[in-house]
Chain A
C-alpha cells in the first residue's frame, strides 16, 4: 500500500551567513519567494513551506503548480525524504524514486555502460538487478558501440538518451518528477513519451511539478497550487488550472 500523508508540515531554512542587513533585504525583495522571518538570535529563517497538509493514496496523479520560489521543489524533496520537515509530520510508505535531475551522478570520463551502472545503483538497484536491466537500457538508448566510449564523446542528444533511458528503467511505487521528461529527436521523442507513459502507469502515486498546462491536464487527476509556501488550492484539475493560468 503506497501512501503519502503530510500533516501541518513546515520547512524552515536557517540562513547562517545572512546576518548583515543587506542580504536580508535582498531576500526580502524577492516577492515571489517564501516568507522570511527573524529566527532566534541573529539567524534569518526562510519559511519555504508552511502548514502543508495533504493525503495521497494509490491512484493519485498529482500536479504541482506555483510560481518560482513557491516551494514546489522543496515539497518534492520533503516527499522524497531528503528534507525532514522542521515541524509537522510527513509519512511516506512505498519505494520512492525522484527524477528531479536525470543527469545526477553522470561522470563524463566514464563509459556509457559504467554510467548506467552507477546511476542505477544510486536509484537503489542491486548489482544483480542492474545486470538484468543493462540489456534493456542499452537497447532502448540505441547507442550501440558508443556505450563503451567515454560519456564526454557523446553528442548532447546521445547524453540525454542515456540519462533518460537509465532514469526511467526503474519501477517505483511513488514517482516524483520536476517537469515532464521529454527529449531527443522526433523519432526518439515518440518512444520516450511511450516509455514515460508506461512508467507513470506502473507507479502507484505520481507527483509532477510542471509549468506546462497540457502536461498537467494529460497526466493528473488532482492539482495542488502552492503560493508563498502554502497550499492555495487543492482538488480537481480543471477549475484550479483555469484559476492558476488566468491569474
Chain B
C-alpha cells in the first residue's frame, strides 16, 4: 500500500523528471537562446540593467548613509544578485504549470520537469549576471579569496530550497489563480525585511536577532554571499538551510503527490 501514499507518488514524479533531465534543460536553454535571436547582446541586456541598478543604488545609498563604498558595493551587488535570482525563480516558478498549459494538456510528462525548466532558465540568467560581481570588485579594488569556491556549495543548497518552494507554490497557484499576486506581494515584503540593500549593522539592537536568523532568505543569501566576500560561511546558517531543505522537500513531495492527479483538471 506504500505505492499509494502521496510521498511515493511525489517521489516517483521527481525521479521520472530527473531521469529525462535533458528535456527541461533543452527547454530552458531555448528560453534563453530566444533572447539572443535578433539581438546580439541577448540575455546580457538584462545583466546591463542589473549592473546599472546595483551601481546606482550602491552609490546613492552608500553616500546617503555614509557607508564605506569599498565594502558596501561588493556586499550589495552579491545580495542583489542573489535576491534577483531567488525572486525571479519563485515568482516564475509559481507559474510553471500555468505557463506550460499547452504542453501539459498534450503530453504526459512528470510535473517536476516544468519546475526544473524554470529553475534552470533562471540559473542561466544568474550565471550571466554573476559577472557583475567580479567587475564591481575590480572597480572598487576589493580582494576576493579562496573561500569564494565555497559559494558553489551554497548555491547548490539554495537551489535545492528553491525547488521545493517552487513545487508547492506552483501546485497551489494552479488551483488558486490569485495566489500569484499574493506571492509577488510577499516577496516584496521579504525584500524589505531581508538585509538585501541595507546592511546588517543597521539592524536596530532593540529588535530580536531571531528576525534575521530565522529569515530563510537571509540565510540563503549569506551561504552564497559570505564566501564570495571572503569570509568563512557560518555553520549555523548552513545547518539552517540544510534543515529547511529536508523539511521543505518532505512537504513538497507530499503536496505534489497529493494533488498531482488534479493539476491537469485545474488548467
Contact = CB atoms under 8 A, between A and B. Distances in A.
A83 B265 contact: yes
B105 A77 contact: yes
B185 to A, nearest CB: 22
A98 B265 CA distance: 18
Contacts of B105: 77, 82
Contacts of A98: 106-107
Interface stretch (B21-29, B62-70, B126-134): B21-29
B30 A14 contact: no
A36 to B, nearest CB: 15
B40 interface: no
A84 interface: yes
A83 B104 CA distance: 10
A13 B26 contact: no
B103 interface: yes
Given A83-B265, A105-B103, A121 B37 contact: no
The B interface, classified by DSSP as helix, strand, loop or mixed, is helix
A110 B31 CA distance: 10
B23 A83 contact: no
Contacts of B22: 121, 126-127
User: Considering residues A77, A86, A122, which has the most beta carbons from chain B within 10 angstroms of its beta carbon?
Assistant: A122
B109 interface: yes
Contact of B30 (A86, A101, A114): A114
B103 A118 contact: no
Given A109-B34, A109-B37, A122 B265 contact: no
A118 B152 CA distance: 30
Nearest to B104: A82
A83 B34 contact: no
B88 interface: no
A118 B109 CA distance: 14
Contacts of A126: 22
Contact of B109 (A101, A107, A122): A122
Contacts of B30: 107, 110, 114, 118
A113 interface: no
Contact of A100 (B26, B34, B106, B260): B106
A80 interface: yes
Given A82-B104, A121-B22, A13 B265 contact: yes
B17 to A, nearest CB: 13
B102 A104 contact: yes
Contacts of B38: 109
A172 to B, nearest CB: 12
B108 A122 contact: no
Interface string A21-52: 00000000000000000000000000000000
B112 to A, nearest CB: 15
B265 A121 contact: no
Interface in B27-58: 27, 30, 33-34, 37-38
Contacts of B260: 84
23 contacts: A13-B265, A82-B105, A82-B106, A84-B260, A100-B106, A104-B102, A105-B103, A107-B30, A109-B34, A109-B37, A109-B38, A110-B30, A110-B33, A118-B26, A118-B27, A118-B30, A121-B22, A121-B26, A122-B23, A122-B103, A123-B107, A124-B20, A127-B22
Given A82-B107, A121-B23, 20 more contacts: A14-B265, A80-B108, A82-B108, A86-B265, A98-B106, A98-B107, A101-B106, A104-B102, A104-B106, A104-B107, A109-B34, A110-B30, A110-B34, A114-B30, A117-B26, A118-B26, A118-B30, A121-B26, A122-B109, A150-B37
